[in-house]
Amino acid sequence: MLHPKYYLFDTGVINSLNGRITAESVKTPTIYGTLFEHFIILEVFRLIHYFEKPYRLYHWRSSHGAEVDLIIESHNRVWAIEIKSSKVIQPKDLRGLASFMDDHPGAIPLCVSINDLPYQRGNTPVIPWKLLFEKEYSGLSL
């Protein structure tokens, strides 16, 4: 099911509200991963509005608990994006994406991570996060 998901406008404000005011306090893998995901989604949202793209953003979760961090829908395409704060992506990291692709075979899968170079994990391109914001990637054209 596609769902809206709410994000605060700034990761610094999130950290402050949670009492995380030092660099050390955001270095745990869970917190860093959450903030990285939040940052990517905020940047996608910002660029969509800046360039006045008619895209809609969703979070996807199946009835069995599989999740995809970001679904971007345009009038003729759907991108399913998994956001990972690690350099090496394992097949288990893409289970939610695989589940989404089973239900939506026409969607374009993508994994955004902190790796330095793009590579392929099965049918899913894994790209450095900065590449997502290049002039055009996989037709996403943010």
Least confident among 38-42, 70-74, 138-142: 138-142
| pLDDT the model gives residue 4 | 56
87 pLDDT more than 70: yes
- Asked whether residue 78 is assigned to any structural domain, the reply reads yes
- Give me Rg for the CA atoms of the chain: 15
- Asked whether residue 102 is assigned to any structural domain, the reply reads yes
Q: Taking a C-beta distance cutoff of 8 angstroms, is the pair 73, 55 a contact?
A: yes
Q: How many domains does the chain have?
A: 1
- Asked whether residue 70 is assigned to any structural domain, the reply reads yes
Domain that holds residue 28: 2-132
Q: Taking a C-beta distance cutoff of 8 angstroms, is the pair 127, 109 a contact?
A: no
| pLDDT the model gives residue 15 | 47
Q: How confident is the model at residue 138 (pLDDT cuts 50, 70, 90)?
A: low
pLDDT tens-digit readout, 107-122: 999 999 999 999 999 9
- Asked whether residue 48 is assigned to any structural domain, the reply reads yes
User: What would the mean pLDDT of 17-41 be, rounded to a whole number?
Assistant: 66
User: What would the mean pLDDT of 21-26 be, rounded to a whole number?
Assistant: 55
- Asked whether residue 37 is assigned to any structural domain, the reply reads yes
| pLDDT the model gives residue 36 | 86
- Asked whether residue 86 is assigned to any structural domain, the reply reads yes
| pLDDT the model gives residue 116 | 92
What CATH number does the domain containing 58 carry?
Answer: 3.40.1350
- Asked whether residue 73 is assigned to any structural domain, the reply reads yes
Residue length of the chain:
142
Look up residue 126 and give its two tokens: 């894994």
The model scores a pTM over 0.85: no
How many Cβ atoms sit within 10 Å of the Cβ of residue 88?
Answer: 11
- Asked whether residue 140 is assigned to any structural domain, the reply reads no
**Upper half-sphere CA count for residue 77 (Cβ side, 13 Å):** 13
